[in-house]
Structure 1
Amino acid sequence: MVITQETHDISTATGTMRTYLYRPDCDGQFATIIFYSEIFQQTAPIARAAAILAGHGFVVLVPEVFHELNPVGTVLAYDDNGKDKGNADKFAKPLEHHDSDTEALVDFARSLSFCTSQIGSMGVCIGGHLAYRAALNPDILAAFCLYPTDIHSNTLPCEKDNDSLSRTGDISGELVMVFGKQDPHVSSEGRKLIYAKLEATERNFSWHEVNAQHAFMRDEGERYDAAIALQMYLKAVAFFQRTLK
């Protein structure tokens, strides 16, 4: 399926958020996937991932997750400086601001003539956490979370008892959780903590642990695992085709 790309600046409770939109280049209405990036925002690998999803019949929105903290259009490099800046942004932005970003993205999607009312979320790394967090919003019907960081450790700023793990019981949509067993950012103990919380709150979820490192989806760098990444794209497409259509 041939796709087209657009750029939109969306008003949020905390300022203008640049959002990149990918969609099928044909008539019709399509379900929406909000795709949350790594700390580096929309790099080339993130853009390619969004294009893959859009090519399977979805509208994909890629927001600048730290729009309050950077000039519009900021993309951080995959180097030490980029990592340091992205991590500083991650620990500076409260989760509540991400919540209002999600609300703005839902409203934006539903204002578009080519979008249905069906919306899901997906993300990698901190974006995996934000996809999980987005599912607290009842308008998010399904979330595909790839190696989400900081859920188990409660290290992101938020109001008391408003961390994502504690709020797990408020998720109503279906979840897919994917972790690399060799990922140093989410230990075996951390994964068990998330799994136990999902089970204790009787959420609708599936769980996958693969033999891969952190960022195995990123098609730049030595940690990329093309075979496992392809499996995850196929799982995500099938998941969203089932839950959003």
Structure 2
Amino acid sequence: MTNITITAADKTGSFSVYTAAPKSSTGPAVVVIQEIFGVNYNVRSICDWLADEGFFAFAPDLFWRQKPGIELEAKNPEELQAAFGYMKAFDGQKGLDDIQTTINHARSVSGVNGKVGAVGYCLGGYLAYMTAAKTDIDASVGYYGVSLDTKIDEAKTIKKPLMLHIAEKDGFVSPEAQAAMHKGLDDHPAVTLYDYAGVDHGFARIEGSAYHKEAATLANKRTIDFFNKHLKGA
């Protein structure tokens, strides 16, 4: 586990990427897309978990244009408010550019089999959806993505597999928004949606107040099975 630095595609600077490698010498890669709290302990632990499952993992610092190295915690009220501020100022297109740059780097890493997936949470769940629509990713997973109901039209460009985990009681995604997601995506041949009854936004964040072990375990198993199928061919 280490940090590397990648030059941005627009040449305006460079950003840090936390990386974790599997014990096996070869395998696919997964880009881990942060929540609004930066590449914090939670994001790094997801990378480490994926490495344990046989994937090279890469988590780019997507807020670097505002402030490099942001690490915030949801349980701290002041840091939560700061996180919302960073999210509002975030340039989504630049973020997607940085994700594509990270994908390109991952494919160039010795041992990576050429296949690269993405998994994102919250803001990252939204970006995982947009990554499926706007980049050359091989497979994507989004956990409790926000504002997806406003981007249903983007689904027409999604050709590679996408899985979305939806929290039924998500305080940031209304029942109406969830219904719109199902209406617009249920019949899409590349998209699979799973609903998790009675759980709130952030149900897979281990140290979060909304953590739900049973739902998180099921979602994580589905994620690994999905990546094994589409990135490893298992």
* CA distance in 1: counterparts of 2:134 and 2:31, whole angstroms: 12
Residue type of the partner of 1:183? D
Structure 1 stretch displaced more, 141-150 or 76-85 = 76-85
Instruction: Note the C-alpha offset of 1:138.
Output: 4.7
Pairing 1:233–2:220 present: yes
Structure 1 stretch displaced more, 184-193 or 88-97 = 88-97
What's the TM-score once normalised by structure 2's chain length?
Answer: 0.91
Corresponding residue to 1:173 among 146, 154, 160: 160
Tell me which residue corresponds to 1:39: 36
Q: Deviations over 1:205-238 (max 9, x none)?
A: 1111112111011111321111211111111111
Q: Is the 8 A contact 1:171 1:203 kept in 2?
A: no
Q: Is the 8 A contact 2:63 2:70 kept in 1?
A: no
Q: Is the 8 A contact 1:169 1:198 kept in 2?
A: no
Instruction: Note the C-alpha offset of 1:122.
Output: 0.5
Q: Is the 8 A contact 2:20 2:47 kept in 1?
A: yes
* CA distance in 2: counterparts of 1:209 and 1:219, whole angstroms: 19
Flag structure 1 segments of 5+ consecutive residues without an equivalent.
Answer: 155-163
Name the SS of the counterpart of 1:103 in structure 2. helix
Tell me which residue corresponds to 1:94: 91
Corresponding residue to 1:11 among 7, 13, 17: 7
Q: Give the CA RMSD over aligned residues.
A: 1.6
* CA distance in 2: counterparts of 1:151 and 1:22, whole angstroms: 29
* CA distance in 2: counterparts of 1:133 and 1:82, whole angstroms: 26
Tell me which residue corresponds to 1:145: 142
Tell me which residue corresponds to 2:21: 23
Tell me which residue corresponds to 1:84: 81
Corresponding residue to 2:56 among 59, 63, 86: 59
* CA distance in 1: counterparts of 2:29 and 2:155, whole angstroms: 23
Name the SS of the counterpart of 2:170 in structure 1. coil
Q: Deviations over 1:130-181 (max 9, x none)?
A: 11111124521111111001222x4xxxxxxxxx433221111111111111
Identity among equivalent pairs (%): 24
* CA distance in 1: counterparts of 2:189 and 2:38, whole angstroms: 29
Q: Is the 8 A contact 2:138 2:160 kept in 1?
A: yes
Greater share of residues in helix: 2
Residue type of the partner of 1:11? T
Flag structure 2 segments of 5+ consecutive residues without an equivalent.
Answer: none
Residue type of the partner of 2:13? G
Name the SS of the counterpart of 2:58 in structure 1. strand
Residue type of the partner of 2:88? F
Tell me which residue corresponds to 2:195: 209
Change (3 A) 1:240 1:54: same
The ranges of structure 1 where at least 4 consecutive aligned residues each deviate by more than 6 angstroms after the TM superposition are: none
* CA distance in 2: counterparts of 1:15 and 1:116, whole angstroms: 28
Name the SS of the counterpart of 1:10 in structure 2. strand
Q: Is the 8 A contact 2:23 2:52 kept in 1?
A: no
Name the SS of the counterpart of 1:221 in structure 2. coil
